[in-house]
Amino acid sequence: MCGIVGYVGSKDSLDVVLEGLRRLEYRGYDSAGVAVLADGRLSTAKKAGKLANLEKELAEAGLPASTIGIGHTRWATHGGPTDRNAHPHVSADGSVAVIHNGIIENFAPLRAECEATGVEFSSETDTEVVAHLLAAVYAETPEGSGRLAEAMRTVSRRLEGAFTLVATHAAEPDTVVASRRNSPLVVGVGEGEYFLGSDVAAFIAHTRNALELGQDQVVELHRTRGVTVTDFDGASVEPTAYTVDWDAAAAEKGGYDWFMLKEIAEQPQAVADTLLGRLGEQGELVLDEVRLSDQDLRDIDKVFVVACGTAYHAGLIAKYAIEHWTRIPVEVELASEFRYRDPVLDRSTLVVVVSQSGETMDTLMALRHAKDQKARVLAICNANGSTIPRESDAVLYTHAGPEVAVASTKGFLTQVVACYLVGLFLAQVRGVKYADEVAAIVEDLRALPDQIRAVLSSMDPVRELARSLATEDTLLFLGRHVGYPVALEGALKLKELAYIHAEGFAAGELKHGSIALIDQGTPVVVVVPSPRSRESVHGKVVSNIQEVRARGARTIVIAEDGDDDVLPYADHVIRVPRTPTLLAPVVTTVPLQVLACEIASTRGLDVDQPRNLAKSVTVE
């Protein structure tokens, strides 16, 4: 949450910073602000609401020309989304401008300390204390190169909580400094120019050369000295360099009205990329990047899948597949609950953390707890070099490319596919599936991109249906077996995008109370398993459709091609290709994404940036 941009170079800093903020706006859009440094003076502009509000103001008032600047797009924590609380925050003497992502937990005593010296605060934020402290500490720091970085280290040592801080000082016309603890920050290195960003999207239009920063590090960007990284005590650190494997075009809408539509359309390729290089010619799985030895994998006697939101739903699907293929017990848990209930973990527990962004704080904290308890941690992640994969014992990247829309789509499908790979790999290494059985499932996995393409090519009736649902107050989603997490995901997509009350239920559970919600005309979406599914789950779901229809529901049924059993009870049928039961979520989820997107669009809402949300949730 919150997007951060910093720049030192020879270009117009306002242009560079605003362009970076446009690409990072998905991280938070409660307010936006910039500060530039010219002729020994800091100038700022900040505005509540989306970046467009700030841009409008800048178009009218402008800022002095400058080649050094910082910018911020905010997801509010301390203090409401007002102009005053927008970043940057400037010290009382006007010398320092600071932007911040995270929460400074000990801000209250620090604020009292500043106030005791006569400082008057102009916002309700936790961030403002840093601006005042930094100005005071800078004044006491001996003159010389690296003075602002030294002041930042001194201040950072006093802070508790999670923070990425970026600061400029009026007396340092060539320097931007930043500090990082538990919040994301990457450095971009161009030709004689340097960038900071919450993620590489901030500077991808200028350079693909990036540096990873570790925890508790301070970085100085200097126009002539370049990039210097230290820990909070000043010891020099060599950052890890890497090349970003996607370009600016990947971060653009590419002709679609919404990033979400583009990302839905990219799903066949994204899933193909998740599988790329991991399916061997003999039908075996090749997961070289799983840096756990075969013996480690054989020793595992329990798996936890830990994640949040949509990634949690991917974990719920993983449980069915991993348990079925490996016979290892799997528990799936919300990351925000996991570490606070003292789960039983040891060296033979595998904890799979699933996160598109790799920065979700709840998931990161769960990961750390698991490692403290000596469990092995495997991350399934999309964002290369982010904190979660860096702190895990092993990582499987999903290679979905940048996901910008707040609602996760290709991130989810590729997480599900990566979970299948983990389950099947465990089965292969542990010898609980014969090579030909693994090869048969690998063939099914290879077919998924074409099956998603087939779904996408027949979405016009779903869009039409969506338009007819746009004025509803409530939608219910039902599913059994792997269809249950799909129902949860369909409901989450609708809630977050269209602000319509939606709930997902296990279809068999509805009769234990929630069926009372059904009234004349209540739309109920039912994810129907394949007629070939085990233990006649299909027949039971068909009965569940009848039960809700008998009570007045308008039934919208997602069913496999050729499944005619549903026809007598369905007001609307959405067809998906025949897919093996465990893999079906990869196709049945897609119409639900399209449905939610179209309903939100029909209601005139911002599909990519729903209210109150941010893409990457970096607070607990």
The nearest distance, CB 492 to ligand M6R, in angstroms, is 6
Residue nearest to ligand M6R (CB): 309
Nearer to ligand M6R, 441 or 491 (CB): 491
Give the single-character DSSP code of 392.
Answer: S
First CA to last CA distance, the chain? 11
Nearer to ligand M6R, 407 or 548 (CB): 407
Task: Specify the pairing of strand 523-527 against strand 501-506.
Answer: unpaired
CA torsion sign for 108, 26, 607, 411 is negative
The nearest distance, CB 335 to ligand M6R, in angstroms, is 8
The answer to whether 325 touches 426, Cβ cutoff 8 Å, is yes
Nearer to ligand M6R, 67 or 77 (CB): 77
The nearest distance, CB 41 to ligand M6R, in angstroms, is 39
H or E element in which residue 81 lies: none
114 catalytic? Reply is no
CA atoms of 414 and 325, how far apart (whole Å): 19
The nearest distance, CB 547 to ligand M6R, in angstroms, is 30
The answer to whether 55 touches 47, Cβ cutoff 8 Å, is no
Alpha helix segments (H runs only) across 163-233: none
Nearer to ligand M6R, 202 or 607 (CB): 607
Footprint of ligand M6R (CB under 6 A): 308-311, 355-357, 360, 363, 406-408, 496, 616-617
Token couple for 385: 């070099």
Q: Give strand ranges (E) for 75-151.
A: 89-90, 96-104
The nearest distance, CB 178 to ligand M6R, in angstroms, is 22
615 catalytic? Reply is yes
Other CB atoms within 10 Å distance of the CB of residue 181: 20
Token couple for 178: 């930043």
Helices and strands (H, E) in the chain, number of each type: 18, 24
Q: Of the listed 262, 433, 493, 615, which one is catalytic?
A: 615
Token couple for 365: 């904290």
The nearest distance, CB 271 to ligand M6R, in angstroms, is 16
Nearer to ligand M6R, 333 or 560 (CB): 333
Nearer to ligand M6R, 42 or 365 (CB): 365
**Length of the chain counted residue by residue:** 620
The nearest distance, CB 27 to ligand M6R, in angstroms, is 11
The answer to whether 425 touches 287, Cβ cutoff 8 Å, is yes
CA atoms of 289 and 376, how far apart (whole Å): 15
H or E element in which residue 384 lies: none
In sequence order, the β-bridge partners of residue 196 are 6, 187
Nearer to ligand M6R, 510 or 617 (CB): 617
Residues annotated as part of the active site: 2, 615
